[in-house]
């Protein structure tokens, strides 16, 4: 990662630190290291408010450079900071929502005289406004994502199960450069590369806070495919994570085995209409809750409210911020008063689930600019018959 880009990111965190009277941050978690250092290491980034960041590397041991120090344990950090003449912080922040209790306490004990603040919400806030380079990475990811999805009809074979098709789609994604990692904030949600939901499996309740669940192949990973045969007259919703360069682009498209009932095409069009209306309203200053409420009003008037975002178990949102993780700021949901800001990137995913047919709808990634939003995932939105 080029140094000017990293400085932009670190300075965003510093401005928020200054607002909270925080003197320094000690960053230890993978995603935040990737954001502030440009790569994942076993180690730490120490970010003082008014001097250059210091990197403390445990593994790999070949990394060298200015302000880079090789360490075996975090306790060495304090001695090095003192050797370099840096003052001990009166208030330091640690990633309290992400570190284990043991790691948190060990790092907190490095600063026995300091007040400890929670770095997690501050860094997530900084990450919510993307730099121009980050948005360009989303554009490139969207192009690769689209190229992979456009090839899905070529790998479908009659008689396939949802698992067999999912494997082929995952292969297409990997061949286009997908890193094969689906990164989620928090410890309570897991999935492989994304989901493929065929027929009634789209309505199967999941323990995870995704828009739709799926039974999964085993209780150890209860989401996505369940091994069902793909049947005529049912939909297949493909929602694979677009991690082609570390950034989690998000796109869902719907395929069908043969023709569907007219009701399915009507419901799909309602979702596209909701997307288009909400996107027309999306610009800096738009309140997330207002977008959600407009979607609910539209789907209710169209007669599909009971099937919107699930049936028995419904998702409580229709959109979410994306970035290095799939669930970032902002969230388009009720009671979320947060306003859109230029530089935010979010996924919008109005979806309807029809018993006996499956899921219809659409999901795209959007970057907020000063005038409105830019579409980042440019794949055709019509239901594709296989």
Q: Which domain holds residue 119?
A: 3-127
Q: What is d(CA 24, CA 123) in angstroms, rounded to the nearest whole number?
A: 12
Domain final position from 73, 93, 127: 127
- Cβ–Cβ < 8 Å for 362, 381: yes
pLDDT tens digits, 205-215:
999 989 999 99
CA distances from 360 to 162, 165, 206, 233, 264 (A): 16, 18, 18, 13, 7
pLDDT at 299 over 80: yes
Indicate if 74 and 141 belong to the same structural domain: no
Q: Burial code of 235-258, b = ≥16 C-beta within 10 A, e = fewer?
A: bbbbbbbbbbbbbbbbbbbbbbbe
Kindly report the number of other CB atoms within 10 A of residue 24's CB atom. 25
Are residue 222 and residue 102 in the same domain, yes or no? no
Model pLDDT for residues 29-83, shown as the tens digit of each residue: 999 999 999 999 999 999 999 999 999 999 998 998 889 999 999 999 999 999 9
pLDDT value at 273 more than 90: yes
* Residues 68 and 213 placed together within one structural domain of the fold: no
198 CB burial (10 A radius; 0-12, 13-18, 19+): buried
CATH number at residue 57: 3.40.350.10
Would you say residue 3 has pLDDT above 90?
A: no
- Same domain for 105 and 133, yes or no, is no
pLDDT tens track for 92-143? 999 999 999 999 999 999 999 999 999 999 999 999 999 999 999 999 999 9
| Residue 366 and residue 345 share a domain | yes
Q: What is the pLDDT, as a whole number, of residue 317?
A: 97
Q: For 281-294, write each residue's pLDDT tens digit.
A: 999 999 999 999 99
Domain boundary (102, 127, 152) is at: 127
| Greatest distance between any 2 Cα atoms in the chain | 73
SS3 per-residue string spanning the chain? CCHHHHHHHHHHHHHHHHHCCCCEEEECCHHHHHHHHCCCCEEEEEEECCCCCEEEEEECCCCCCCCEEECCCCCHHHHHHHHCCCCCCCEEEECCCCCCHHHHHHHHCCCCCCEEEECHHHHHHHHHCCCHHHHHHHHHHHHHHHHHHHCHHHHCCCCCEHHHHHHHHHHHHHHCCCCCCCCCCCCCCCCCCEEEEEHHHHHCCCCCCCCCCCCCCECCECCCCCCCECCCCCEEEEEEEEECCCCEEECEEEEECCCCCHHHHHHHHHHHHHHHHHHHHCCCCCEHHHHHHHHHHHHHHHCCHHHECCCCCCCCCCEEECCCCCCEEEEECCCCCCECCCCCEEEECCEEEECCCEEEECEEEEEECCCCEEECCCCCCCCEEC
CA 257 – CA 214 distance, rounded (Å)? 19
Find the mean pLDDT for residues 21-29. Answer: 98
CA distance 371 to 374: 9
Same structural domain for residues 221 and 340? yes
Per-residue pLDDT averaged across 374-385, rounded? Answer: 98
Same domain, 181 and 87: no
Q: Are residues 323 and 264 in the same domain?
A: yes
| Residue 296 belongs to domain with CATH number | 3.90.230.10
Q: What is the reported pLDDT for 306?
A: 98
pLDDT for the residue 128: 98
Average pLDDT over residues 328-337: 97
Question: What integer pLDDT is reported at residue 2 of this predicted model?
Answer: 78
- If one counts the domains in the chain, the total is 2
pLDDT over threshold 80, residue 1: no
Rounded to two decimals, the pTM is 0.95
Q: What is the pLDDT of residue 188?
A: 83
Of 95, 127, 159, the last residue of a domain is 127
Contact (CB, 8 A) for 125 and 35:
no
Tell me: do 334 and 322 sit in the same domain: yes
Pair (216, 270) in one structural domain: yes
Dump pLDDT digits (tens) for 360-369.
Answer: 999 999 999 9
Could you count the other beta carbons within 10 Å of the beta carbon of residue 350?
Answer: 26
Mean pLDDT score of the chain: 97
Rounded average pLDDT over 245-265: 97
Q: How far is CA 362 from CA 19, 24, 318, 348, in A?
A: 39, 43, 11, 8
* Phi and psi at residue 52, to the nearest 5°: -60, 150
Closest of 32, 48, 198, 196 to residue 125, by C-alpha: 32
State yes or no: pLDDT of 152 exceeds 90: yes
- Lowest pLDDT segment from 62-66, 92-96, 271-275, 318-322: 62-66
Residue 31: the pLDDT is 97
Report which of 377, 380, 373, 328 is spatially closest to residue 138, judged by C-alpha positions.
377
């Amino acid at each position: 990662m080029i140094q000017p880009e990293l400085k932009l990111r670190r300075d965003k965190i510093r401005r928020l630190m200054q607002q909270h009277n925080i003197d320094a941050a000690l960053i230890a978690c993978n995603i935040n290291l990737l954001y502030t250092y440009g790569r994942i290491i076993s180690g730490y980034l120490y970010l003082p408010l008014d001097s250059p960041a210091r990197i403390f590397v445990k593994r790999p041991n070949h990394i060298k450079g200015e302000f880079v120090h090789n360490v075996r344990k975090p306790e060495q950090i304090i001695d090095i900071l003192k050797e370099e003449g840096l003052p001990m912080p009166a208030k330091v922040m640690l990633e309290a929502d992400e570190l284990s209790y043991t790691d948190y306490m060990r790092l907190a004990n490095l600063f026995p005289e300091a007040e400890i603040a929670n770095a997690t919400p501050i860094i997530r806030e900084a990450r919510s406004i993307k730099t121009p380079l980050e948005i360009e990475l989303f554009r490139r990811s969207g192009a690769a994502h689209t190229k992979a999805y456009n090839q899905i009809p070529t790998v479908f074979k009659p008689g396939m199960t949802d698992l067999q098709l999912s494997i082929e789609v995952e292969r297409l994604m990997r061949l286009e450069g997908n890193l094969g990692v689906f990164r989620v904030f928090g410890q309570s949600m897991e999935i492989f590369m994304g989901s493929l939901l065929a027929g009634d499996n789209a309505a199967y309740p999941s323990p995870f806070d995704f828009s739709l669940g799926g039974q999964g192949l085993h209780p150890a990973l209860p989401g996505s495919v369940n091994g069902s045969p793909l049947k005529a007259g049912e939909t297949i919703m493909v929602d694979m994570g677009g991690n082609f360069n570390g950034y989690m682009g998000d796109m869902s498209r719907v395929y069908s085995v043969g023709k569907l009932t007219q009701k399915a095409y009507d419901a799909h069009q309602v979702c596209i209409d909701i997307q288009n209306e909400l996107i027309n309203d999306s610009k800096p200053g738009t309140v997330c809750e207002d977008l959600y409420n407009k979607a609910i009003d539209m789907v209710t008037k169209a007669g599909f409210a009971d099937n919107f975002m699930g049936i028995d178990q419904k998702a409580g949102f229709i959109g979410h911020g994306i970035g290095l993780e799939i669930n970032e700021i902002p969230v388009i949901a009720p009671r979320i008063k947060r306003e859109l800001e230029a530089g935010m990137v979010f996924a919008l995913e109005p979806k309807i689930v029809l018993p006996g047919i499956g899921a219809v709808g659409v999901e795209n990634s959007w970057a907020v600019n000063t005038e409105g939003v830019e579409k980042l995932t440019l794949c055709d939105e019509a239901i594709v018959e296989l």
